[in-house]
């Protein structure tokens, strides 16, 4: 038992992956379509962009109005409403991470709810660390949602298009493959290094010609590539969802240090 733990520590310090890591990654990618968690992750990522946009617009509008109207005392209740709403949105995000991403997040304490004096409660709300952690996550959710939406569109559009090639390759209005209009594309990468009075270099000529799917076997081969691309896309989305879940634990949970340690352990594995 001690030898196994010692070997694990040595592998971690040396930067080498433990035995079986690549095989587990391949197995995880292959089984992604058959695990319900995959589709819960996809649902979370699909909802991330509209929610992130909503949070961003709300915070920017609310804070701008509140700060701008402080001189006539109307801004104070607006800012108070923004801070309280940030905690409500953060609670919704914690619930989403728990039920969709299967991430364990402990709810933080809310000192401003325990203070009997209204002034102390407002001070705790305004200066509390949890308030700004929640607002930071809501702002970051817009970037997360934008990245998730772009990733989903790019990955699945490519994978599904390749996968369905046998259904439309024979359409005369559709061209599948590498189609160049005109002369073939020629690429000439080169490398040149000066050495004393000499110039040493290497140059390679690469010509990209046309290739188009014109038969069912070729279409099936492209479809097989699309299946692999689909499995890879699901695995990438699962990995991205896992990172978002750990990020949620850091900003929305009660123990940021424990969440950071778990994130480091997960990335090391």
Q: Is 142 a member of any domain?
A: yes
Residue 60 is predicted with a pLDDT of 93
pLDDT, greater one: 115 or 86: 86
pTM: 0.75
- Domains of the chain: total: 1
| Among 6-10, 38-42, 115-119, 177-181, the least confident range | 6-10
Give pLDDT tens digits for 122-138: 666 677 788 888 899 99
Q: Is residue 11 part of a domain?
A: no
The pair of three-digit structure tokens given for residue 226, joined into one six-digit string: 């699309």
Overall average pLDDT of the 117-126 stretch: 63
Give dist(CA 144, CA 229) in Å, integer.
23
Task: Confirm whether 183 is domain-assigned.
Answer: no
Distance from C-alpha of 231 to C-alpha of 30, rounded to nearest angstrom:
6
Across the chain, mean pLDDT equals 79
For residue 146, the enclosing domain spans: 23-176+212-268
Question: Per residue in 97-116, pLDDT tens?
Answer: 999 999 988 877 766 655 55
Residues 6+ apart with CB under 8 A from 71: none
Domain presence at residue 150: yes
114, part of any domain: yes
Judge whether 134 lies within some domain. Answer: yes
Is residue 180 over pLDDT 70?
A: no
**Token pair of 40 as six digits:** 């819960």
Q: What does the pLDDT look like over 32-80, one tens digit per residue?
A: 889 999 999 999 999 999 999 999 999 999 989 988 887 787 888 888 8
What does the pLDDT read at residue 242?
Answer: 94
Half-sphere exposure of 245 (CA within 13 A, CB side): 24
pLDDT in tens, 141-163: 999 999 999 999 999 999 998 89
Residue 121 located in a structural domain: yes
Q: Is residue 120 one of the residues assigned to a domain?
A: yes
């Amino acid at each position: 038992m001690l030898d196994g733990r010692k070997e694990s520590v040595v592998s971690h310090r040396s930067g080498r992956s433990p035995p079986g890591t690549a095989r587990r990654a391949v197995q995880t990618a292959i089984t992604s379509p058959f695990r319900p968690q995959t589709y819960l992750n996809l649902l979370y990522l699909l909802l991330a962009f509209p929610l992130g946009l909503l949070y961003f617009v709300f915070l920017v509008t609310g804070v701008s109005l509140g700060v701008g109207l402080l001189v006539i005392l109307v801004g104070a209740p607006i800012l108070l409403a923004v801070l309280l709403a940030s905690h409500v949105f953060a609670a919704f995000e914690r619930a989403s991470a728990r039920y969709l991403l299967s991430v364990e997040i402990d709810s933080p304490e809310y000192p401003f709810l325990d203070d009997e004096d209204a002034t102390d409660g407002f001070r705790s709300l305004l200066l509390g660390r949890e308030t700004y952690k929640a607002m930071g996550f809501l702002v970051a959710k817009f970037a997360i949602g934008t990245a998730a939406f772009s990733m989903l569109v790019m990955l699945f559009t490519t994978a599904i298009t390749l996968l369905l090639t046998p259904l439309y390759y024979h359409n005369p209005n559709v061209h599948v493959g590498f189609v160049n209009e005109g002369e073939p594309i020629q690429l000439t990468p080169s490398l040149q290094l000066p050495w004393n009075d000499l110039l040493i270099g290497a140059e390679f000529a690469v010509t990209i010609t046309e290739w188009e799917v014109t038969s069912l076997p070729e279409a099936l081969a492209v479809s097989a590539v699309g299946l692999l691309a689909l499995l890879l896309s699901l695995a990438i989305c699962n990995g991205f969802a896992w990172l978002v879940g750990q990020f949620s634990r850091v900003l929305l949970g009660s123990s940021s240090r424990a969440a950071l340690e778990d994130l480091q352990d997960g990335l090391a594995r």
